[in-house]
Amino acid sequence: MGWLRFVIFVVFVLAGCSPALISGGSDYRGQVVDADTNEPIEGAVVVIVWYKKPAVSMNGPQYFHRAEEALTDSEGRFTLNASSGIDVNPFTYVLRDPRIVIFKPGYGPFPRAHVSSKSIEEIKRAFLQGGAVIRLPKLKNKEDLRKYSDPGDLMISSLVPYDKIPELTRLINRQRAVLGFPPIGGNR
């Protein structure tokens, strides 16, 4: 009977692992450019957040699993590990599709302000297949800046601790300062 429990435990642990982790992993790659000029945008933050759910939950709640972020280089390029990491809880599993957000103060973020003929899912696949070019539109006024002055405005759940997304928090605070808003970054 003990071996049966062990086999069930191993199945649950493997169910919580992402396919990228099991197969050796890969990277998300891309380039961020200005939508009007096609000039590279240096210093934009690219954030990937993985969530997990209870193994038996139907459409139950989601919980924060892991986040990773990177800043774009002088050519607007970024590379991030696409592995969700291991979920050691045998009663949860990591959702297959992470949330991907790209933000630079003064620009409309991806995916919220992204206008493209490609679907968001096609772009996510392109991140894994050698890279995608993301065109961020410049925001025109303070009203537009206000729309993207909090992680929730960027579709980042309040379940994500600020200390797991420090670069995003720093850049949002830069935009909040322009608006005269107090900084964010305390405990959630």
Query: Which CATH number applies to 26-50+64-82+97-179: 3.40.50.150, 1.10.730.10, 2.60.40.1120, 3.60.20.30?
Result: 2.60.40.1120
Residues 66 and 75: their CA atoms lie apart, in Å, by 27
Average pLDDT, the chain: 83
Burial state string for 131-149 with b = 16 or more CB within 10 A and e = fewer than 16: bbebbbeebeeeeebeebb
pLDDT in tens, 46-97: 999 999 999 887 777 888 999 999 999 999 999 999 888 888 888 888 988 8
pLDDT in tens, 95-114: 888 889 999 999 999 987 66
Residues 106 and 148: their CA atoms lie apart, in Å, by 9
Helices (H), the chain: 2-15, 19-22, 120-128, 142-146, 166-179
With tokens 């069930």, the residue in question is 8
94 Cα distance to chain centroid: 14
Residue 72: DSSP 8-state = -
Check whether 1 has a pLDDT greater than 80: no
